[in-house]
Structure 1
């Protein structure tokens, strides 16, 4: 997993829960990296899981709730760092439907060793989109947070239904409807 995911996560934890919480979740975790992350480094997903589990225990928020909040936070990181890519789109449905064939292609140019989820477009209409998310990491709520902020970015109201196809969350259907 790319280091920017870790560095931004720890920034969010510090902003929302304080530096003491960052120290606590790092110290409680058995991290091969010793909790030292660089944005361009690559780290084991198991480290993110440990950090999430310890933060969940500390805050009494579910991992899904934490991932949703983190996805919403991370959207601003994308706007700040890759705004030109996002500005190629004028509609959130168009942007989301291009994740696999455009956005992820560009991400792979920057981070060739990144392990990205896949998003298969099942059905696309002017005001709706059905996509299947697949990832062994089951971070679908992170994706949901990014989607929420995508529609907000375009000043568009939306209803998003999330349905687990596989109980472990490694395959999820997102049904997205503009309001």
Structure 2
């Protein structure tokens, strides 16, 4: 998993909880990286699971809820760090359509070793879309948070029905635009 996912996670923890909590969740886990991440490095996804699980215990919030919250946070950060991915789209559906066909293509050009999830979309109607998430990592809740973040960023009221697999490695998100 790319280091930017880790560096942004720890920034979120520091900003929204505290530096002390960030230090605790690093210190209490046996991390191969020792919690020293660079945005371009590659790290074991198990470390992210350990960090989220530890954070869950410290802030008394379910890990799935924290992963989704982080997804929303990460979408906002991507909007700031990579604005070119958002300039040619004006709706959530349009943006979600670009993830596999544009965003991930560009990421692979920069980081050929990046292990990226699949985000396949299917337009059912003007107001309804399905997104199929598949990954070798159990981060379907984080993906759901990214979708929620996109809805907020594009200022759209969209109901999201989530069907997440037990292992969190796949999910179907059904998005319906509200009036």
TM-score computed with the length of structure 1 as normaliser: 0.94
Q: Distance in 2 between matches of 1:140 and 1:28?
A: 25
| Structure 1 residues 15-30: aligned runs within 5 Å | 15-30=15-30
SS of match in other structure, 1:160 = strand
Query: Which 4+ runs in 1 deviate beyond 3 A?
Result: none
- The answer to whether residue 150 in structure 2 is matched with residue 155 in structure 1 is no
Uncovered stretches (5+) of structure 1, i.e. residues with no partner:
none
Aligned residues, how many?
178
Q: Distance in 2 between matches of 1:60 and 1:130?
A: 32
Q: Distance in 2 between matches of 1:48 and 1:155?
A: 29
Kindly state the Cα deviation for residue 122 of structure 1 after the two structures are TM-superposed. Answer: 3.7
When structure 1 is superposed on structure 2, of 121-130 and 25-34 the one drifting more is: 121-130
Kindly state the Cα deviation for residue 82 of structure 1 after the two structures are TM-superposed. Answer: 1.0
Kindly state the Cα deviation for residue 120 of structure 1 after the two structures are TM-superposed. Answer: 2.1
Uncovered stretches (5+) of structure 2, i.e. residues with no partner:
none
Are the equivalent residues in 2 in contact too, given 1:93–1:127 (CA < 8 A)? Answer: no
Taking only aligned residues, the RMSD between alpha carbons, in angstroms, comes to 1.2
Q: Distance in 1 between matches of 2:96 and 2:132?
A: 12
TM-score computed with the length of structure 2 as normaliser: 0.94
Aligned to 2:172: 173
